């Protein structure tokens, strides 16, 4: 069947390439009996794709049922899916058929399959492998012929690494994965969807026809829509019911768009290392663990310095011109074949005056000498001072390159950046 015909038949609106690719994959896989895993955020319309797959398959005249696995309590989900015998548990006053028995020959759509408890995952795996299941409280093996289409908004591979989802079940379900794009990934479809929804609600609520100005269309196209198509549909219905017929301005539409708070990944900056599909709480825990590890590394470094102090080497410079860039401190070179003796220390500028045999003296300003100053008669035991001294030395040695400085200190670049901000070393 042609793509346009499928869109018209199932009420799918949009022309973005990502949406078309997902729909074409669903059309191609529909005539087969392969298991399909539909991926996408909540509210993108994953159930519509499951209906497309069922209606274009050879099972279209058989039953179809959609089950939200996240909405069924863990204690009763086995009974709902596989059925139970009389007296199997408290309250089981009669035997009951499960969905896999009643939908025999048809298609079952398991939404939010990532929320299934481990025991139910094992039962589902057995059905996918050989079509067998056992009712709760029974010992009789039954057969069923059901096509399984699943959907999730979670990263099942990541959950399997966390021990929350069976890896073998994932590969059974994801024979053909289909990713449905979120609304922010197909912004060109947002005005089309608004017109479709407003037309439907105008007829349903017998309200006047609503249109948007160019600025209002641009506003809804640039909005984040964290709730995806479901949120856009709800906002459109509010506008159709509460506003008078006519053309609405951007200011009017803005009243119905709730402010979008930046999510935790945005506040934390780059989160490529934390994986996709994680909840904000999971990412927050990972960041705390990384932060604790960085602090531990820094403590080891500082205590190692206290146990094995490094004696600074005296530094002699030919002239002040050898110090070129205060932002990137360069260690000066020694005067060739000329012994050096200190004339004075701790002058008015806090500097050190060095003199060679030919009486050419050089005075170093305080801000340059700090990184290579001689130790005091009695070393300070302050951790902060030791930490600050080592960071300055590392920055000087790496000529201001933070990545190399962090490597030489044995800490992460993020920790070094935080310390630079703390000690105002910018």
Which of 126, 159, 181 is the endpoint of a domain? 181
pLDDT bin (cut points 50, 70, 90) of residue 266 is very low
Give the integer Cα–Cα distance in Å for 58 and 66.
18
Write the CB contacts of 417 (distance below 8 Å, at least 6 apart in sequence): 402
Helix (H, G, I), strand (E, B) or coil at 295: helix
| 292 lies in some domain | yes
Residue 355, pLDDT above cutoff 90? no
Q: Are residues 8 and 140 in the same domain?
A: yes
Residue range(s) defining the domain that contains residue 367: 288-422
CB atoms under 10 Å from CB of 203, counted, come to 10
Structural domain count of the chain: 3
Identify the CATH number of the domain in which residue 23 sits. Answer: 3.40.50.300
Q: What are phi and psi of 267, to 5 degrees?
A: -65, -30
364 Cβ partners below 8 Å, 6+ apart? Answer: 317, 320, 323, 351, 352, 354
pLDDT tier for residue 306 given thresholds of 50, 70 and 90: low
In a domain, 243, yes or no: yes
Alpha carbon separation from 186 to 73, 183, 331, 421 (Å, rounded): 35, 5, 54, 40
Check whether residue 98 and residue 193 sit in a common domain: no
Q: Are strands 107-111 and 147-152 parallel, antiparallel or unpaired?
A: parallel
Same domain for 341 and 220?
Answer: no
Name residue, tokens 């994965």: 177
pLDDT at residue 417, rounded to an integer: 79
- For residues 216 and 349, membership in a common domain is answered with no
Domain end position, chosen among 228, 254, 280? 254
Average pLDDT over residues 83-94: 87
Residue with tokens 């056992």: 134
Q: Would you state the pLDDT for residue 331?
A: 46
Identify the sign of the CA torsion 258, 261, 263, 264: negative
Residue 278 lies in a domain: no
Residue environment code for 337-357, b if the CB has 16+ CB neighbours within 10 A, otherwise e: eeebeeeeeeeeeebbebbbe
DSSP three-state, residue 39: strand
Average pLDDT over residues 139-165: 94
Q: What are phi and psi of 14, to 5 degrees?
A: 140, 150
CA proximity to 207, closest of 177, 166, 237, 178: 237
Dig out the tokens for 46 from the structure.
């994953």
Identify the band that residue 142 occupies on the pLDDT scale cut at 50, 70 and 90.
Answer: very high
Same domain, 26 and 156: yes
Bigger pLDDT: 297 vs 224: 224
pLDDT digits (tens, 9 = 90+) for 311-334: 555 545 444 444 444 444 444 444
Torsion of CA 50, 53, 56, 61, to 10 degrees: -60
Let me know: does 22 contact 181? Beta carbons within 8 Å.
yes
- Would you say residue 297 lies in a domain? yes
Statement to judge: residues 230 and 368 lie in one domain? no
Contact 224, 259 (CB under 8 A): no
Assess contact for 151 and 39: CB atoms under 8 A: yes
Asked, for residue 261, whether it belongs to a domain, the answer is: no
pLDDT greater than 50 at residue 360: no
CA atoms of 4 and 12, how far apart (whole Å): 9
Is the pLDDT reported for residue 294 higher than 50?
A: yes
User: Is 267 part of any domain?
Assistant: no
Across 266-292, average pLDDT: 57
- Tokens 């860039």 sit on residue: 325
161 and 135 in one domain?
yes
CATH at 207 = 1.10.8.60
**CB pairs under 8 A, 24+ apart, for 305-310?**
305/386, 305/390, 306/381, 306/386, 309/379
Same-domain status, 360 and 218 = no
DSSP result, 375-402: PPSS----HHHHHHHHHHHHHHHTTT-H
In a domain, residue 274? The reply is no
Return d(Cα 208, Cα 202) in angstroms, integer: 6
The tokens describing 385, both together, are 């001072």
160/99 same-domain check: yes
Q: State the pLDDT confidence band at 424, using cuts at 50, 70 and 90.
A: confident
Residue 16's pLDDT is 94
Q: Among 394, 366, 367, 374, which residue's Cα sits nearest to residue 315?
A: 374
Domain boundary among 157, 181, 205: 181
Mean pLDDT throughout 24-35? 95
pTM above 0.75, yes or no: no
One domain for residues 121 and 196 = no
**Residue 281 domain-assigned?**
no
What is the C-alpha radius of gyration for the chain, rounded to an integer number of angstroms? 34
What is the C-alpha separation between 149 and 125, in angstroms, rounded? 13
**Residue 154 sits in the same domain as residue 40:** yes
In the chain, DSSP finds a helix count (H) and a strand count (E) of 18, 14
Residue 376 has pLDDT above 60, yes or no: no
Q: Are residues 21 and 140 in the same domain?
A: yes
Strand duo 36-39 + 176-179: pairing: parallel
């Amino acid at each position: 069947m042609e793509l346009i015909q499928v869109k018209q038949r199932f009420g799918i609106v949009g022309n973005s390439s990502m949406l078309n690719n997902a729909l074409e994959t669903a059309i191609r896989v529909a005539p087969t009996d392969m298991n399909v895993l539909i991926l996408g955020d909540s509210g993108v319309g994953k159930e519509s794709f499951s209906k497309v797959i069922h209606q274009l398959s050879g099972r279209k005249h058989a039953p179809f049922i959609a089950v939200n696995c996240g909405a069924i309590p863990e204690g009763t989900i086995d009974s709902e899916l596989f059925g139970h015998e009389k007296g199997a548990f408290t309250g089981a006053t009669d035997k009951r058929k499960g969905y896999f028995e009643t939908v025999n020959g048809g298609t079952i759509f398991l939404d939010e399959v990532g929320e299934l408890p481990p025991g139910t995952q094992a039962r589902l795996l057995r059905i996918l492998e050989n079509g067998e299941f056992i009712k709760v409280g029974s010992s009789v093996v039954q057969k069923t012929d059901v096509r399984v289409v699943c959907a999730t908004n979670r990263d099942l591979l990541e959950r399997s690494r966390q021990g929350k989802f069976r890896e073998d079940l994932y590969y059974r379900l994801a024979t053909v994965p289909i990713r449905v794009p979120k609304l922010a990934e197909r912004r060109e479809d947002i005005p089309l969807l608004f017109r479709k929804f407003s037309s439907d609600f105008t007829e349903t609520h017998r309200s006047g026809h609503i249109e948007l100005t160019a600025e209002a269309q641009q506003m809804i196209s640039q909005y984040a829509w964290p709730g995806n198509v479901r949120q856009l549909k709800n906002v459109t219905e509010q506008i159709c019911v509460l506003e008078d017929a006519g053309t609405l301005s951007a200011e009017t539409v803005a009243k119905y768009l709730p402010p979008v708070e930046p999510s935790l990944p945005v506040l934390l900056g780059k989160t490529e290392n934390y994986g996709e599909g994680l909840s904000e709480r999971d990412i927050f825990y990972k960041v705390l663990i990384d932060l604790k590890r960085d602090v531990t590394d820094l403590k080891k470094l500082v205590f190692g310095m206290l146990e094995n102090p490094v004696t600074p080497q005296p530094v002699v410079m030919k002239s002040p011109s050898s110090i070129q860039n205060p932002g990137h401190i360069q260690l000066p070179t020694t005067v060739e074949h000329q012994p050096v003796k200190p004339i004075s220390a701790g002058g008015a500028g806090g500097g050190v005056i060095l003199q060679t045999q030919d009486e050419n003296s050089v005075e170093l300003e305080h801000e340059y000498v700090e990184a290579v100053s001689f130790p005091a008669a009695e070393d300070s035991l302050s951790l902060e001072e030791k930490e600050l001294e080592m960071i300055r030395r590392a920055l000087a040695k790496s000529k201001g390159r933070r990545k190399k400085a962090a490597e030489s200190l044995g800490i992460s670049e993020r920790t070094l950046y935080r310390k630079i901000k703390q000690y105002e070393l910018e």
